[in-house]
């Protein structure tokens, strides 16, 4: 039914363009017919809903989920990573990467 509505608006638009310049030259008639068909296609697509795409899932490509880059991954790991991307959490100022007691020698 959507296709019939869409095609009907294209035909109606081209008929209006043809009838609006019935006594003119062939070039003007062709131009107005094409212009009417163009606007009919726009109007028919808007009314019949052909141009509206079906919404894909939240993540159409599942390869991105779980890598730590999506909003859901950041939400899932908020308390562990303190809202930093995965493996990008800055080190704590209290941690000593090479051991020791505070940087001074005993």
Residues 6+ apart with CB under 8 A from 88: none
For 38-83, what is each residue's pLDDT tens digit? Answer: 999 999 988 888 767 666 666 555 556 666 566 776 677 666 666 6
Give which of 51, 47, 52 is closest to 5, Cα–Cα: 47
7 and 39, same structural domain?
Answer: yes
CA distance 41 to 48: 10
pLDDT for res 18:
92
Q: pTM for the complete prediction? A: 0.50
Residues 6+ apart with CB under 8 A from 61: none
Q: Is residue 35 part of a domain?
A: yes
Please tell me which residue, 17 or 1, carries the higher pLDDT value.
Answer: 17
How many distinct structural domains can be found in the chain?
A: 2
Checking if the pLDDT of 106 tops 60, the result is no
Q: Is residue 100 part of a domain?
A: no
Please tell me which residue, 19 or 50, carries the higher pLDDT value.
Answer: 19
SS (H, E, C) 5-25: HHHHHHHHHHHHHHHHCCCCC
Q: Is residue 23 part of a domain?
A: yes
68 and 37, same structural domain?
Answer: no
CA distance 36 to 11: 9
For 78-102, what is each residue's pLDDT tens digit? Answer: 666 666 666 676 776 666 666 556 5
Q: Is residue 72 part of a domain?
A: yes
Query: Mean pLDDT across the stretch 23-34?
Result: 92
Q: Is residue 75 part of a domain?
A: yes
Answer for the pair 37, 12: CB distance below 8 angstroms, yes or no.
no
pLDDT for res 48:
86
């Amino acid at each position: 039914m959507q296709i019939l509505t869409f095609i009907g608006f294209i035909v109606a638009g081209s008929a209006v363009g043809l009838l609006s310049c019935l006594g003119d030259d062939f070039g003007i008639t062709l131009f107005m017919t094409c212009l009417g068909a163009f606007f009919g296609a726009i109007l028919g697509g808007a009314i019949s809903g052909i141009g509206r795409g079906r919404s894909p899932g939240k993540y159409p490509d599942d390869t991105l989920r779980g890598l730590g880059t999506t909003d859901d991954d950041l939400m899932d790991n908020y308390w562990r990573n303190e809202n930093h991307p995965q493996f990008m959490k800055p080190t704590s100022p209290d941690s000593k990467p090479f051991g020791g007691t505070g940087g001074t020698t005993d």
